Amino acid sequence: MARTPVLAAGGIVLRQYETPLIAVVRLRKRNEWVLPKGKLDDGETAREAAQREVLEETGHDVVVHEFLGTLVYETSRGSKIVHYWRMEANGGQIHALMRDVRAVEWLPLERAVERLSRGYERAFLANVGPLALQAAADSPAAASVAVRDFGQANMPKAAKGWGNGPLRKLWDWLRRFIGPYRVA
């Protein structure tokens, strides 16, 4: 019998400087450098989990912006599905790092990609990192992201004919999993 995938969420966390910096965290147990992320708690949306996990792993309060993508990979315990959002750190560290994290480094995109220990995370950041940097550059630093309901009204036009088939079920699952928000 197939195992249920582990659902997790995290962030591509930026600090705005002349050259924007991206957070990578060093795990204590395996001594690996990874993107900040973690498993969802019961009743938590992926977006909520992403914000909580980033605070726990980087010690920084963040503003959560647009959804960037999903990374799926295999672990010794089965499949892991991780949803990522662009985030911006507010000020300095306000919280002690969780016990599982040894250190946080803030690096320019290219160095952050090189620092990551896992090939699939390097490939993911190499692809979505430029999008995150561009989105940050295009939005005013102090502006918050406008959101609207991620529901029926925002369903793709093609979805109107989906009925109760597999695509409709996937759409409904994504709405529940990602949470009630999306970028306007």
The pLDDT of residue 153 is 46
Domains in the chain (CATH in brackets) are 6-138 (3.90.79.10), 147-183 (no CATH)
**Chain centroid offset of residue 184 CA:** 18
Residue 20 has pLDDT above 70, yes or no: yes
Kindly report, residue by residue over 50-63, the tens digit of the pLDDT. Answer: 999 999 999 999 99
Q: Per the confidence metrics, is the pTM higher than 0.95?
A: no
Cβ–Cβ < 8 Å for 151, 65: no
Cβ–Cβ < 8 Å for 22, 106: yes
Kindly report, residue by residue over 122-144, the tens digit of the pLDDT. Answer: 999 999 999 999 999 987 653 33
Q: Give SS3 for 145.
A: coil
The pLDDT of residue 151 is 46
Query: DSSP of 90-120, one letter per residue?
Result: -SS--SPPPTTEEEEEEE-HHHHHHH-SSHH
Residue 178 has pLDDT above 80, yes or no: no
Kindly report, residue by residue over 68-102, the tens digit of the pLDDT. Answer: 999 999 988 889 999 999 999 988 888 888 989 99
CA angle 20, 45, 4 (to 5 degrees): 110
Cβ–Cβ < 8 Å for 60, 90: yes
Averaged pLDDT score across all residues of the chain: 83
Token pair 């959101």 in the structure block, residue: 147
